């Protein structure tokens, strides 16, 4: 299937190169799954990516949560992700001023060197995005920023006014490929989609096929509902890496997400 047929107005209106790349991979793999690869060691991460790579379009990391981090160990994670043809997404949630965000893209973890997508808060204003983009430019790479317009965690402070102002910052920036929405509520996702229109992506954490609640205030909604409500990617962690067979779970999430996209057109 051609991406324009699968994605309809989203393909026609999203111009960010990383959005286009993501939509192509999603069509090749018939999967709108972003694996939240929240495991403690690089060895476990490499194994997980190898086991589910066929069924996921993107691997999302928290590089600063890796135990005993080493550059060599991380290079193996990056190599496996490239081998599996998935995008790498560091969920860094930048929140400082532009200059500091630019330096934080380098440093020990050198996120600018391997991440294709990163998240950022908008709380510090629009320059944080320019700082992130400048860091990618320094190493002659192009990446996409997802701004947190909503969150899935209970009691979060991202109210409607904050969401609207975040969308204004995002719409005005060529570096912002889209927004994070709250996948645990299809009402939240459809409200967000109405405001965003077709020109930017919405990716949603807080989805599970089996659980309604996670640990420490995580909330869950149904992944197919999230896609039907206008999400373009489901971010799934425990639902995959916490199952008896991560491969089978990833396949199941991929199928649910793809069928929902086909229904949405």
**Taking CB under 6 A as the rule, does residue 48 contact ligand 5BU?**
no
**Taking CB under 6 A as the rule, does residue 148 contact ligand 5BU?**
yes
What is the phi/psi pair of residue 167, to 5°?
-65, -35
* DSSP assignment of 56-94: -SEEEE-GGG-TT--HHHHHHHHHHHHHTT-EEEEEEEE
- Both tokens assigned to 199: 């020109």
Q: Report d(CA 223, CA 7) in Å as an integer.
A: 17
**Taking CB under 6 A as the rule, does residue 122 contact ligand 5BU?**
no
By CB under 6 A, the count of residues binding ligand 5BU is 18
3-state secondary structure 127-168: HHHHHHHHHHHHCCCCCEEEEECCCCECCCCCCHHHHHHHHH
Figure out which of the listed residues 27, 33, 149, 235 binds ligand 5BU, where binding follows CB under 6 A: 235
Rank residues 19 and 166 by Cβ distance to ligand 5BU and give the closer one: 166
Say whether 93 is catalytic: yes
Figure out which of the listed residues 57, 81, 180, 249 binds ligand 5BU, where binding follows CB under 6 A: 180
Rank residues 144 and 214 by Cβ distance to ligand 5BU and give the closer one: 214
Residues making contact with ligand 5BU (CB under 6 A): 36, 38, 91, 119, 148, 151-153, 180, 205-206, 214, 218, 235-239
The catalytic site residues sit at 93
């Amino acid at each position: 299937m051609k991406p324009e047929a699968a994605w309809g107005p989203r393909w026609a209106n999203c111009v960010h190169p990383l959005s286009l790349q993501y939509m192509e991979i999603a069509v090749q793999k018939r999967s709108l799954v972003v694996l939240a690869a929240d495991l403690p060691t690089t060895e476990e991460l490499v194994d997980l990516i190898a086991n589910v790579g066929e069924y996921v379009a993107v691997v999302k990391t928290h590089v600063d949560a890796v135990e005993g981090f080493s550059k060599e160990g991380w290079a193996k994670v990056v190599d496996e992700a490239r081998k599996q043809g998935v995008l790498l997404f560091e969920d860094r949630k930048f929140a400082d001023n532009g200059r500091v965000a630019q330096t934080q893209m380098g440093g020990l973890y050198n996120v600018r060197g391997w991440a294709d997508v990163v998240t950022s808060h908008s709380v510090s204003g629009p320059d944080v995005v320019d700082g992130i983009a400048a860091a990618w430019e320094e190493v002659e790479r192009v990446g996409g920023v997802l701004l947190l317009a909503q969150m899935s965690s209970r009691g979060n402070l991202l109210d409607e006014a904050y969401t609207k102002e975040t969308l204004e910052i995002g719409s005005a920036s060529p570096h912002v490929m889209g927004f994070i929405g709250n996948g645990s509520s299809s009402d939240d996702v459809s409200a967000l989609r109405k405001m965003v229109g077709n020109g930017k992506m919405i990716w949603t954490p807080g989805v599970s096929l089996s659980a309604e609640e996670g640990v420490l205030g995580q909330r869950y909604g149904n992944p197919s509902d999230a896609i039907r409500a206008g999400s373009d990617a489901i971010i799934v962690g425990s639902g995959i890496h916490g199952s008896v067979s991560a491969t089978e779970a990833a396949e199941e999430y991929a199928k649910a997400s793809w069928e929902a996209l086909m229904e949405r057109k």
